[in-house]
């Protein structure tokens, strides 16, 4: 197994069994914020960037497990930043990208041609969506599919809220009753489609009714700025998230950085317990959690350039790489 790590300076490929020495480092794509793998072919990977580099686009595709990349930025989105990517679990060759200005695009041919999801532009109230730092441009931060009804997808906007499409992105409905609109990650419970989870800038939220209403979860969470989210396999009750004391601008100036903590829920998101001390992450914040297919645990990539490997219960965390550029996402390659 190899790890394809998306960093602020490009792609780094690691073998977790061989320590933190990279097998390969690629500067093109030059900056990676988000990644997604095809549901059938794990060597087909998409990488998105929130930075515009001269002469380069913001969406790239690899068909060989991250060794080589092709720019597939849609002409309609050449000026957009790519904040989220998701490959359909049921429709062959179908992939979605979420961008700045809260736009959503769909391709049915592995990213060769994208069409904008026009229904997303028609959501009532989208003119009020914003983002705190200037120039206050909202973006699509999360795209998630219902594993039981793959034509149903949930889209999270920072800051705009959660929206659902039951027809693959043609039309949308708003699901913002009770939730803070600064959405970072949305996920659907693998056992119960009515149970949804969301991380936000004001904590963790749970819906028992498919997003009709949301409840903030505070038990066991002593940090509020939640970012990554990992829902374990259907036979497990566990959910993992990580949270910082405050938003990203405070991470660079605080004496302890983000002061991040990893949390685990054993009751499907209804309560949490911290399972790591701050010194585990140093001045880093876990930005993405992905399953580890070898040991049933997970991998975490952090914005201080460290890569961690967690056990199935999260109680054991091993650093497998450090001092990489800020790392934001990853893919596991068999």
Encode pLDDT of 190-221 as tens digits: 999 999 999 999 999 999 999 999 999 999 99
Residue 280 has pLDDT above 70, yes or no: no
pLDDT in tens, 62-114: 999 999 999 999 999 999 999 999 999 988 899 999 999 999 999 999 999 99
Q: Name the architecture of domain 2-223+319-333.
A: 7 Propeller (2.130)
* pLDDT classification of 127: cutoffs 50, 70, 90: very high
d(CA 318, CA 52): 34
* Helix, strand or coil, per DSSP, at residue 76: helix
Q: How far is CA 100 from CA 32, 138, 139, 141, 299, in A?
A: 15, 6, 4, 9, 27
- Residue 333 near residue 42 (C-beta atoms within 8 A): yes
Q: What percent of the chain has pLDDT over 70?
A: 99
Q: Which of 95, 98, 61 is nearest to 80 (CA)?
A: 98
Distance CA 127, CA 190 (A): 33
CA-to-CA distance for 300 and 226, rounded, in angstroms?
Answer: 14
* Domain layout of the chain by residue ranges: 2-223+319-333
The CA–CA distances, whole Å, from 37 to 27, 86, 257, 281, 325 equal: 20, 8, 31, 26, 22
Res 232: pLDDT: 86
pLDDT at 182: 97
Per-residue pLDDT tens over the stretch 128-156: 999 988 889 999 999 999 999 989 999 99
């Amino acid at each position: 197994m190899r790890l394809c790590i998306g960093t602020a300076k490009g792609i780094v490929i690691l073998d977790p069994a061989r320590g933190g020495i990279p097998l390969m480092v690629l500067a093109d794509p030059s900056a990676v914020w988000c990644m997604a793998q095809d549901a059938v072919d794990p060597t087909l990977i998409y990488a998105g960037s929130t930075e515009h580099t001269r002469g380069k686009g913001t969406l790239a595709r690899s068909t060989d497990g991250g060794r080589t990349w092709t720019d597939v930025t849609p002409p309609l989105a050449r000026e957009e930043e790519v904040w989220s990517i998701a490959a359909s679990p049921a429709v062959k060759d179908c992939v979605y990208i979420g961008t700045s200005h809260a736009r959503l695009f769909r391709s049915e041919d592995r990213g060769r041609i994208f069409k904008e999801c026009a229904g997303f532009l028609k959501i009532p109230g989208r003119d009020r969506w914003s983002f705190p730092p200037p120039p206050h441009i909202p973006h699509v931060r999360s795209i998630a599919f219902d594993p039981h009804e793959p034509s149903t997808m949930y889209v999270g906007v920072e800051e705009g809220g959660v929206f659902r499409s039951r027809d693959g992105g043609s039309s949308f409905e708003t699901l913002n009753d009770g939730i803070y609109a600064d959405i970072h990650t949305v996920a659907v419970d693998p056992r119960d489609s009515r149970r949804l989870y969301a991380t936000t800038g004001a904590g963790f939220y749970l819906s028992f009714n498919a997003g009709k209403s949301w409840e903030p979860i505070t038990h066991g969470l002593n940090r509020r700025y939640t970012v990554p989210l990992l829902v374990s396999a259907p036979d497990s009750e566990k959910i993992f998230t990580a949270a910082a004391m405050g938003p990203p601008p405070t991470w660079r100036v605080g004496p302890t950085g983000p002061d991040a903590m990893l949390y685990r829920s054993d009751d499907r998101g209804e309560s949490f317990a911290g399972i790591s001390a701050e010194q585990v992450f140093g001045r880093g914040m876990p930005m993405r959690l992905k399953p580890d297919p070898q040991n049933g645990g997970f991998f975490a990539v952090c914005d201080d350039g460290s890569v961690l490997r967690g056990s199935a219960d999260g109680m054991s965390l091993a650093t497998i790489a450090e001092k990489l550029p800020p790392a934001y996402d990853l893919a596991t390659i068999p």
